[in-house]
Structure 1
């Protein structure tokens, strides 16, 4: 007979305790790809945001030149529409993914997690939809 492991009684075999997380692991790689997305989108957002801030705030007179006509001229170019759209979508998806992780970490009940994630998804879709609509339907000829 072997010596018992510390904390083990002689009448039952040693077993590993279940992990603290109540959720079962899945075989898909969603969390790995979400983690990679956070890293790459963060790097791209740094370039987009600092480029945006440099152009909007520091070049050609800075903030003083920002008005409706400036935005109308900027969004008349497909390049700037794509730039702003990419920044909007990446910021929403990056922030939403981070908030999804926080919800998963701190919500104890499955129903709470479900409703918070649903609210998060609806709000993200709404903001991305309205932002995309504004960028592509902006009319510089207001009456």
Structure 2
């Protein structure tokens, strides 16, 4: 006969890990980072939305030329770069926490985290390259393929 423990019975206390087995304040720093980066991301995202949708002519004005003109300024390059990096670090840290909470087997946890970090690196590297190497008027391109604001 199988007996089920009384759900209202107090649980025995878990043994506390020794000082040598704790990981330090990594999780605390991650928690604080999530709060701080969330506040900064709100400012960056709403600034981005305001400039792109409210201050200009609305969503109909967003096209290749709008992005090219915006990224001609180092200010907007840094703004978008900060938004990309913070959003990716913030999201990766959140998904890492979810993986730690729900992946029970070590092998699955390792595979999920490895794919998460790989995706993070790919998106951050490619996004950074796009922001800083974007050239709307590449030299040697056929004039009929260039936007109207480029001088041939």
Provide TM-score, normalisation by structure 2: 0.77
Offset, 1:25:
5.3
Once the two structures are overlaid, the 10-residue window that deviates more, 67-76 or 82-91, is 67-76
How big is each residue's C-alpha offset from its partner over 1:63-105, in whole Å with a ceiling of 9 and x where there is no partner? 1211111111110111000000000000000000000000000
Match of 1:80 in 2: 76
Corresponding residue SS for 1:64: helix
Question: Partners in 1 of 2:43 and 2:106 — Cα distance?
Answer: 37
Pairs aligned (count)? 124
* Structure 1 unpaired stretches of 5+: 1-15
Match of 2:94 in 1: 98
Offset, 1:111:
1.1
CA RMSD in angstroms, aligned pairs only: 1.6
Change in Cα spacing, 1:25 to 1:45, as seen in structure 2 (3 Å) is: farther
Question: Partners in 1 of 2:73 and 2:53 — Cα distance?
Answer: 19
Question: Partners in 2 of 1:136 and 1:26 — Cα distance?
Answer: 41
1:42 aligns with 2:55: no
Offset, 1:60:
2.0
Corresponding residue SS for 1:119: helix
* Structure 2 unpaired stretches of 5+: 1-11, 142-152
1:115 aligns with 2:72: no
Match of 1:10 in 2: none
Change in Cα spacing, 1:25 to 1:62, as seen in structure 2 (3 Å) is: farther
Corresponding residue SS for 2:14: coil
